[in-house]
Structures are given as C-alpha cells and as structure tokens.
Amino acid sequence: MGLELFLDLLSQPCRAVYIFARKNSIPFELRPVELLKGQHVKGFLPAGSQQVVPLLKDGDFVLHQSAAILIYLSCKYQVADHWYPADLQARARVHEYLGWHADFIRGTFGVCLWTQVLAPLIGAPVPEEKVTRNRAAVDSALQQLEEQVLGDKAFLAGPQLTLADLLALEELMQVVALGRDVFAGRPRLAAWRGRVEAALGADLCREARGPILNILEQAAGRQLPQPPAEFRHRMLLRLSRIP
Amino acid sequence: MGLELFLDLLSQPCRAVYIFARKNSIPFELRIVELLKGQHLSEDFALVNPAQKVPALKDGDFTLTESVAILLYLTRKFQVPDHWYPQELQARARVDEYLSWQHTNLRRHCLRALWHKIMFPVVLGEPVSPEILETTLAELDLTLQILEDNFLQDKAFLVGPHISLADLVAITELMHPVSAGCRIYDSRPKLAAWSQRVEAEVGRPLFQEAHEVILRAGNFPPADPSVKQKLLPRVMAMIG
C-alpha cells in the first residue's frame, strides 16, 4: 500500500494537505473520513493513531499534524524549493509564520463552523458572547495578518509561495465559506489571495473547497448527516472549549 | 555584534531556547527582557523586534521570533548533534509532529494553569473563579494523558531513544504548572521517569539555572498597578 491521506475536506488543514499533494502530483490514496458522522472515532483511522485528521500513512509510518505532514511530503517528494526553502533564513520565516499561525489563526478561524452549523445540528446552545468574542479575535488576527505578517511582501513568509500561505488561506476560506467575506476592505490580503490561487489553480481550489462551500446550503436543506448519539458528548465538549 | 537572544526565563519558550543554546555551547549575548516590568513593550525593544515578543533572536540584520523557528534556526546554523532534530525523514517528522501539536495543546494548558493559579490572582490581582481553575486543571490533565499515551508511550524520550527538541520544549512547558504547585508527576510514574531522564541529559545545573525564575512563581509579588494596566490586555489576548 502506497501513501494514504486520511482527510475530511470540511477541515481547513485537510484542504491544505489535499491541495498540496494534488498540486505537486504526489501519488496517494485518498481515504475520506467524515467527521460529521464521527468516522474519526469509529475505526476509519489507523488503529492506535490519534483520532484526528489530517493523517498520513506511509507504509507503517503514521503522521498527524498538517504542518508536519506538509513538511514530510515536501522533503520526501522533493517538491519545488519555494514551498519549504532550503535556505536557512527563508525556512526560518516559514516556521516563524507557523508559530504565529498556531496562536492567532488555528482554533480561531474554525469556530464559525461549530457555532453556525454543528451546534445547531445537534441542538446545542451557543452563547452570543462566544460568537462576539470570536468575531473580534478573527478581526484582530486579520488585521495583524495584513499589516504585520504580510506587510509589503508578496507571500506570508517572503517573496515566494510557501506552505505557510496554503495553511493560512484555507483557514481564511473557512470563514468565507460560512458567509463572511474576510477579504472585503482588506486589499492587500485580497491581492495575496489572488496570487496564491493563481499559483495553485482555480480548479484545484474549487474542488478542494466543494464540501465546505456547500455546507450552509446543506444545513439549510437539512441534508447534513445527524452525528451519532455517542459522538454528541465530544461535540459538546468541543463547543465548551470555545473561549 | 554576534548572535543576540532576547529572553525572559519566566517564559517557557524562552527557557527552551536558553537551555538549547547553552547546552550546545552556541555563542550568544543574552539580553534579558523583563515581561513583568513591561520591558517588551518599550520603544527600545520595539526597535529590535516590532512584534514585541520574546523569545527573539537577532543575528546581524536578521531578526527572528517564535521559539520553534529559533530552535530550528540554531539547530541548522550551528550543526548540533543529530538527535536534537534528526536528518532522517521519519524521525524528523516525529519531532515536527510534536512541535506542531504542543503549541495549541500542552503549551496552552500549561500556560493557563500557571496564569489561572498564580499569575492572575496573585500577581495581577485578578481573581479567578474556582470553576475556571478546575476546568483549566482538568484540561491540563487530559493533555498530560495524551502526552503519555500518544507521544511518550514506552519510549525513553518523546520521539525515540534519544532526547530531541520535542523533549526540551515539553519539559520547559511542564515546569509552568510544576512551579504553580501542580503535582503533575504524582500519579504519572512514566512521565516522572521521563522528566528525570530529560533533566539528566540537559544537565541538572543548567536545568536548575534556567528554571530559577519560574520556580519562584509561588512567591511573586503583586505587580505595580501601572504595569498591570499595560500587561493585562495582551495577557488576556494570549490566554484566551
């Protein structure tokens, strides 16, 4: 069995991994895992692994964490240097971005799917103050991203497209898919997005984002699977963790 | 001017960078930036590092923030022993995996444990409800279980038979709740044994020195009101 990627394209980091692997023509078996059906905790992931996606399986080797997966794929398949530059300082900038991303983007940009779709799906209440707080956190992160992180550069970690841009863009697209255009009134971010998508290809982006771009419509049309009862408890715990 | 490291050993990521640089005999000028005095918010420091964060590295014209980025930069530039960040693809991926996981998991919960138990109530005079503290400590407990079950398992160190950046980052993080009086090792003999191994590898004198500041957390005095005013918004954003 060759490389397997266990992904749910509703998840931002899963999309980043998917887009990267497809863009670089990395041969892999796609193993879809539907989080909404609780498949990640119902045996769809390799035995003994952490029950999270994205997950990579390469023979016996199992790897979690999108950043680690992207770096592994970059090195193993010897993709173009710009993705994860060999140059000492250029590579440091990618990791510097990933550190900032962990504090300000990860977690924060995923909240909207939970508050707008998943909580209502299971009939769980969402305190309005959590929504307000999250919106403020998103706004603050976007401002920092545009003014300090991106600044006058073409891409987040320097003059060329890197893993950083891929991970960041899919997080921002999560909020867009849930109905808020984060690029409106942010011309530098909008231009950056244009550059990233031009490099990746519109078709590939559209394909990866199919499920998430459809989610509100599916929710409204009651077409989303009802999460299994035993999974509800975990979802409630996840909701309680929203600051 | 050679390599400069801007650090406050109060901060976990600063401790990891400090220990790593000292352990590997990397020559650097130590620039202490005292967070509790708001020194990171000074104009002088903003000239060095507009992000106003520690740890920060300055290597000639090159300024770098984020501890993992700094650790990896030092690793590559000074060609430290391979076990810290192995060349072998899968061994290295294991370190990358840990370094990615820890940022939003162990680090987060260790930070919150220290802040909710000591820093908010005692230093900043902001009371923390028993419910919040209890939740924080419960989350820490869950994360420690993941650390043991998914990462350490039956290995000597987190990613294999040898110490790596993963262990250094983890141990410095765990010293936050330890310094706040949380007895995290009491019911976790495997983790306790691992921590002893890591300390021994680092060298106890260096380990003690790096943790001198944080180990006094139980006795920190209340902060000056003017400093508290400056620090509180940024701290609230960080602790979230």
Determine the Cα angle at A80 with ends A78 and A86, to 5°: 80
Best residue of A98, A239, A242 to probe chain B, by most B CBs closer than 10 Å: A98
pLDDT of residue A122: 94
Name the closest residue on chain A to residue B237, using Cα atoms. Answer: A137
pLDDT tens for residues B98-137?
999 999 999 999 999 999 999 999 988 899 999 999 999 9
Cα A111 to Cα A64, A68, A231, distances in angstroms: 21, 23, 18
Q: Is the pLDDT of residue B1 over 80?
A: no
Residues of A in Cβ contact (< 8 Å) with B68: 95, 98-99
Residues of A in Cβ contact (< 8 Å) with B92: 75
Tokens of B32: 């202490």
Cα A146 to Cα A115, A150, A193, distances in angstroms: 25, 5, 11
pLDDT of residue B233: 82
Q: What is the CA radius of gyration of chain B?
A: 18
Cβ pair B100:A102 closer than 8 A: yes
* Helix or strand (DSSP H, E) at B6: strand B3-7
User: To the nearest whole percent, how much of chain B has pLDDT over 90?
Assistant: 83
Q: Give CATH 1.20.1050.10 domain extents, chain B.
A: 84-239
Please report where in the chains the tokens 């009802």 appear, as a residue: A226
Q: What is the ipTM metric for this complex?
A: 0.97
pLDDT of residue B51: 84
Spell out where B37-155 has E strands: 56-59, 62-65
Please report where in the chains the tokens 């250029």 appear, as a residue: A90
More confident residue, A143 or B240: A143
User: To the nearest whole percent, how much of chain B has pLDDT over 70?
Assistant: 100
pLDDT of residue A99: 97
Best residue of B96, B111, B112, B145 to probe chain A, by most A CBs closer than 10 Å: B96
More confident residue, B237 or B102: B102
8 Å CB contact between A177 and A209: yes
- A243 and B CB contact within 8 Å: yes
Please, which residues bridge with residue B59 across strands? B3, B62
pLDDT of residue B232: 84
Residues in chain A predicted with pLDDT less than 50, given as ranges, are none
Cα-Cα-Cα-Cα torsion B152, B12, B71, A55, nearest 10 degrees, comes to 40
DSSP state of B29: E
Q: How far is A64 from chain B (nearest CA, A)?
A: 6
Q: How far is A61 from chain B (nearest CA, A)?
A: 8
SS (H, E, C) B156-198: CCCCCCCCCHHHHHHHHHHHHHHHCCCCCCCCCHHHHHHHHHH
State how far the Cα of A237 lies from the Cα of B16, in Å rounded to an integer: 32
pLDDT of residue B240: 62
Spell out where A40-137 has E strands: 55-58, 61-64
Q: Give CATH 3.40.30.10 domain extents, chain B.
A: 3-82
Which superfamily does CATH assign the domain made up of B3-82 to?
Glutaredoxin (3.40.30.10)
CATH no., domain B84-239: 1.20.1050.10
8 Å CB contact between A206 and A182: no
